[in-house]
Amino acid sequence: MNDSIYLASIYRLTGVNFRLAAETLAAGMETKEDGTPAKLSAIPFYFVASHAAELFLKSALLKRGFAESDLKQFDFRHSLNALLTALQEKGVTVTQDTVELINGLHHQHQTHALRYTALVDDGKPTFMPPPPLVFRCLTSCCC
């Protein structure tokens, strides 16, 4: 596709739909006193929220002239950290909370652990911050 602004809007709209799905999942989530999930049934929320973050990051990059073909390169495919770094290199300021959220979600998103192996004890805990933090970061992420 040659129109990067149009494509950016499609990525953004799709990201919004994933964010709305995350809101639906969060509404039924049981949480502990610290706001983190009380049950493993929260894993789909983090998968959907991570995908929303990926779409928002890609949308923001496309909006700033990043080529769609570059987004499909191995270094950027599902790499929240690489997408965030590329966006920051474009001069976009991102909150520290958002940087920390992206860093926390990165590995499990890139390896698809939330879809397949989140329950496998590989010594790496599944990153599950409080949903309000996730939504705050998704809202401020990558306009």
Concatenating the DSSP letter of every residue in 89-135 gives HTT----HHHHHHHHHHHHHHHTTTTTTTTTS-SS-------HHHHH
Predicted pLDDT at 25: 97
Give the largest Cα separation in the chain, rounded. 49
Predicted pLDDT at 122: 79
Predicted pLDDT at 18: 97
Q: Are 81 and 108 in contact (CB under 8 A)?
A: no
Predicted pLDDT at 124: 80
Question: Within the chain, which residues score under 50 in pLDDT?
Answer: none
Cα–Cα distances in Å, from 74 out to 70, 82, 121?
Answer: 9, 10, 27
What is the pTM for the complete model shown? 0.92
